[in-house]
């Protein structure tokens, strides 16, 4: 292997690593706030990418109907609850967000010449379809069992993953999709050709990570999520309801997932079930951070990305095996070095 | 009965059970506007249980009416939004966050409802607890016991509550700080906050309070104006002890 190949592999590894880092951050966040190990994180990647592809193909993305369906269900449940408690003033909000928004979006997608819009607008529309599914998913599936043990939450999480992959096949078909690059520019850095898309992915990940940092350090809602992760009972007494924190967390996770999908769709072909493998690599990174440390998870993600790209050069058939085997020594090292802390209730 | 013109909190026949064991049975208490009402009683009497049920942390049967509106089943977030606040026995601070962040989060519900006066409220809290101001960037988890107590009370005050419920605010504090805490409780009443105070330090609590209840094995055993109860021989025997005057001195 000469320097040029090594640099190329490193570039690949970094690009993928940036995406894994984003997903790892989302997984750590979701686990810290809600104790859910969010297996379907990867599905949001696939949904984001494939919804964008459908929009560009000029058809109505089936995910929009899924959104409408989920919204209708939530409206039914929350509306009935509001009526039963005599909180009629809540009804307008419940119906507006859960029924009005999806239908408005569908109308918008029908009316607009989506196919011919600039790429930015298409991306925004794809996000507008996929991201709200995060909070809706929390409301429908995880909020009713919010206080269940971690194992139950994990099992439900796996079920949601399977269901979302199945629906993905139904919505998008078995064909893979690749979307056009954000920019066709190529940069020559020394002996290396860097594609515009790589720069996009790296910059976008960096910006997103910084934005998340600002969100958690500076805004009250960000602090509220951290507070919930630190002390759930204390947060409740401040009026930060676990349901609100959960929905907000799932919103952020879905945003990260869908955005990652949109970013990598020009680099890799995305199938309806590609998300799982990508999410799983983010998961390995999150485990390296002990599902608790954001910086360690990010470092782990870059490590996973590099390991993956270099092993694809030497032993391409085994690249996933190598990446996932990495988790064993990491877990052993963690279990030896971390002192077991009793969970305080 | 605690006869008051404007009751802030009225609970009626409140019952709580843990599984089959009833920890609180048919407790009825009233807190009037601007009153300090104290609940004293031995360990395991159900005091903490009662506060948790009023706040909605625990499910309960019975009736809780706050500010004139009846809550069949209180729900924490709604109670906070309506101006009720609990400083729990375990304090439940956000250990890995700074004093300032803890305080700001105390105003979360007010912020959500559109109020943007957190900075001013925080100044008021710092006025009451200058110690917190000195250490505003320190992590809550590294504070001393007394400082944690101050932070817990300060955080609750950030919500500008109409009713503040304190669960043993003097727990584990040095006598001088206990006196300070009770001074602040009295000061809060002067500012128009109604207070429901649960205390082991019966002497100090009876001295500062207007009305008092004695809770024993989940039931209200005695009640009356605080100074009357303080002279009741049964209370003296069980909770104040004979001749122990030093506590009273500390609480003045
Ligand atoms: N989660 C629980 N499960 C079962 N029993 C409980 C639980 N919490 C409290 N109890 C029991 O209920 C009774 C009342 O407890 P509570 O904490 O309300 O007492 P307390 O009056 O606050 O006592 P202290 O003065 O020691 O704080 C006790 O016997 C306690 O053991
Ligand atoms: Mg107690």
Q: How confident is the model over A132-144, as pLDDT tens digits?
A: 999 999 999 999 9
Q: What are phi and psi of B13, to 5 degrees?
A: 50, 55
User: For a pocket test of ligand 1, which of B19, B22, B23 has the largest count of ligand atoms closer than 8 A to its C-beta?
Assistant: B23
Interface test with B, best of A216, A239, A244 (most B CBs within 10 A): A239
Question: When comparing pLDDT for B158 and A342, which is higher?
Answer: B158
- The radius of gyration computed from the CA coordinates of chain B, to the nearest angstrom, equals 18
Q: Above pLDDT 70, what percent of chain A?
A: 97
Is B109 an interface residue toward A (CB < 8 Å)?
yes
pLDDT at A14 over 70: yes
pLDDT (tens digit per residue) in B45-90: 999 999 999 999 998 998 899 988 887 777 899 899 999 999 999 9
**CB-CB contact of B189 with B34 (8 Å):** yes
Q: Which residues of A touch B76 (CB under 8 A)?
A: 236-237, 239, 241
DSSP-assigned letter for residue B68: T
Q: Is the pLDDT of residue B176 over 90?
A: no
Tally Cβ neighbours within 10 Å of residue B217: 14
According to the model, what pLDDT value does residue B251 have? 57
pLDDT of residue B252: 56
Ligand 2 centroid to Cα of residue B48, in Å, is 4
Average pLDDT value over all residues in chain B: 90
- Nearest neighbour of B97 by CB, restricted to A230, A233, A240: A230
Distance in angstroms (rounded) separating the CA atoms of residues A115 and A159: 34
Cα distance between residue A101 and residue A116, in whole Å:
23
Q: Does the ipTM exceed 0.85?
A: yes
- Nearest atom in ligand 1 to B50's CA: 18
Q: How much is the average pLDDT of A204-224?
A: 93
Size of interface A-B (CB pairs under 8 A): 69
CB A48 within 8 A of CB A257: yes
Residue A319, Ramachandran bin (φ over 0: left; ψ between -120 and 50: alpha; else beta): alpha
- pLDDT number for residue A114: 87
Per-residue pLDDT reduced to its tens digit, B8-28: 999 999 999 999 999 999 999
- Integer Cα distance of B86 and A234 in angstroms: 10
- Name the residue with tokens 């954001």: A294
Residue where the block lists tokens 């809060």? B188
Average pLDDT, chain A: 90
- Across the interface, do B97 and A240 touch by the CB < 8 Å criterion? no
- pLDDT score recorded for residue A167: 96
The nearest CA of chain A is from the CA of B135 a distance in Å of: 19
Range with the poorest average pLDDT among A87-96, B196-205, B208-217, B236-245: B236-245
Q: Which residues of A145-177 are buried (b: 16+ CB within 10 A; e: fewer)?
A: ebeeeeeebbebbeebbeebbebbeebbeeeeb
Distance CA(A234)–CA(A297), nearest Å, equals: 27
- The proportion of chain A whose per-residue pLDDT surpasses 90, expressed as a percent, equals 66
CA distance B61 to A77: 25
From the list A226, A233, A239, which residue is nearest B92 (CB)? A233
Work out the average pLDDT over B203-231. Answer: 92
Neighbouring residues of A165: CB distance < 8 A, sequence distance ≥ 6? A43, A272, A273, A275, A276
pLDDT for position A343: 45
pLDDT of the residue at A211: 93
pLDDT at A342 over 50: no
Which residues in chain A have Cβ-Cβ distances shorter than 8 Å to B80? 237-239
- Tell me which of B47, B55, B218, B238 to substitute to probe ligand 1's pocket, judged by most ligand atoms within 8 Å of the beta carbon: B47
Reference B101, options A259, A289, A234; nearest CA is A234
Alpha carbons B74 and B59: distance in angstroms, whole number? 8
d(CA A146, nearest CA chain B) in Å: 15
Give the per-residue pLDDT at A314: 85
Nearest to B88 among A235, A237, A241 (CB): A237
Instruction: Tell whether the model's pLDDT for residue A331 goes beyond 90.
Output: no
pLDDT at A185: 82
Q: What is the pLDDT of residues A77-101, one digit of tens each?
A: 999 988 887 778 888 889 999 999 9
Where does the pLDDT of residue A257 fall: very low under 50, low under 70, confident under 90, or very high at 90 and above?
A: very high
Kindly give the residue spans of alpha helices, DSSP state H, lying in chain A: 3-34, 41-56, 62-84, 88-95, 101-111, 119-130, 133-137, 150-172, 196-218, 220-230, 232-237, 242-264, 274-288, 294-314, 319-325, 327-337
DSSP characters over A273-304:
THHHHHHHHHHHHHHHTTTT-HHHHHHHHHHH
- Report chain B residues whose CB lies below 8 A from the CB of A233: 57, 88, 90, 92
Query: In the structure, which protein residues have their CB atom closer than 6 angstroms to any atom of ligand 1?
Result: B 18, 23, 41, 43-49, 89, 200
| pLDDT attached to residue B191 | 87
A179 has pLDDT over 80: yes
Residue by residue, what is the 3-state secondary structure of A103-150?
HHHHHHHHHCCHHHCCHHHHHHHHHHHHCCHHHHHHHHHHHHHCCCCH
Task: Of B37, B68, B34, give the one whose Cα is nearest residue B50.
Answer: B37
């Amino acid at each position: 292997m000469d320097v040029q190949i090594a640099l190329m592999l490193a570039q690949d590894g970094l690009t993928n690593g940036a995406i894994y880092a984003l997903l790892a951050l989302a997984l750590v966040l979701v686990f810290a706030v809600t104790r859910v190990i969010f297996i379907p994180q990867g599905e949001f990647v696939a949904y984001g990418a494939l919804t964008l592809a459908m929009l560009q193909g000029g058809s109505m993305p089936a995910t929009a109907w899924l959104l409408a369906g989920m919204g209708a269900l939530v409206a039914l449940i929350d509306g009935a609850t509001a009526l039963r408690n005599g909180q009629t003033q809540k009804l307008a909000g419940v119906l507006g967000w859960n029924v009005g928004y999806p239908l408005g979006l569908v109308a918008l997608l029908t009316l607009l010449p989506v196919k011919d819009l600039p790429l930015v607008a298409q991306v925004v529309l794809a996000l507008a379809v996929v991201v709200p599914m995060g909070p809706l998913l929390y409301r429908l599936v995880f909020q009713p069992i919010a206080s269940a043990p971690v194992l139950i939450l994990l099992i439900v999480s796996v079920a949601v993953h399977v269901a979302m992959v199945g629906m993905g096949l139904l919505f998008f078909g078995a064909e893979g999709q690749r979307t056009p690059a954000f920019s066709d520019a190529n940069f020559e850095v020394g002996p290396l050709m860097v594609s515009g898309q790589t720069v996009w992915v790296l910059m976008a990940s960096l910006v997103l990570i910084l934005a998340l940092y600002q969100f958690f350090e500076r805004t009250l809602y960000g602090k509220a999520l951290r507070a919930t992760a630190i002390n759930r009972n204390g947060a409740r007494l401040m009026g930060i309801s676990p349901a609100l924190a959960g929905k907000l967390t799932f919103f952020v996770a879905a945003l990260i997932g869908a955005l990652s999908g949109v970013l990598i769709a020009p680099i890799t072909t995305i199938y309806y079930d590609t998300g799982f493998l990508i999410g799983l690599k983010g998961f390995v990174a999150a485990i390296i951070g002990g599902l608790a440390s954001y910086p360690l998870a990010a470092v782990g993600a870059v490590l996973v990305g590099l390991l993956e790209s270099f092993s694809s050069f030497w032993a391409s058939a085994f690249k996933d095996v190598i990446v996932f085997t990495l988790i064993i020594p990491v877990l052993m090292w963690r279990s030896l070095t971390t002192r077991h802390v009793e969970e305080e209730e | 009965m605690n006869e008051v013109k404007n009751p802030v909190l009225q609970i009626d026949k409140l019952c709580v059970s843990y599984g089959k064991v009833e920890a609180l049975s048919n407790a009825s208490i009233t807190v009037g506007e601007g009153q300090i009402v104290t609940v004293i009683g031995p360990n395991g009497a159900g005091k903490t249980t009662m506060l948790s049920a009023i706040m909605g942390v625990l499910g309960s049967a019975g009736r809780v009416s706050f500010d004139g509106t009846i809550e069949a089943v209180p729900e924490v977030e709604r109670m906070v939004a309506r101006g009720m606040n609990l400083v729990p026995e375990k304090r439940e601070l956000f250990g890995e966050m700074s004093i300032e962040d803890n305080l700001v989060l105390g105003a979360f519900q007010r912020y959500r409802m559109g109020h943007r006066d957190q900075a001013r409220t925080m100044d008021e809290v710092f006025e009451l607890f200058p110690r917190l101001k000195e250490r505003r960037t320190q992590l809550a988890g590294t504070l001393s016991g007394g400082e944690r107590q101050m932070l817990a009370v300060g955080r609750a005050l950030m919500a500008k509550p109409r009713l503040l419920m304190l669960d043993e605010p003097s727990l584990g504090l040095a006598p001088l700080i206990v006196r300070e805490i009770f001074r602040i409780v009295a000061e809060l009443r002067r500012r128009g906050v109604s207070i429901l105070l649960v205390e082991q330090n019966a002497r100090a609590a009876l001295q500062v309070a207007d009305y008092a209840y004695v809770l024993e094995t989940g039931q209200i055993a005695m009640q009356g104006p605080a100074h009357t109860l303080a002279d009741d021989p049964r209370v003296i025997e069980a909770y104040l002890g004979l001749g122990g005057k030093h506590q009273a001195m500390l609480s003045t």
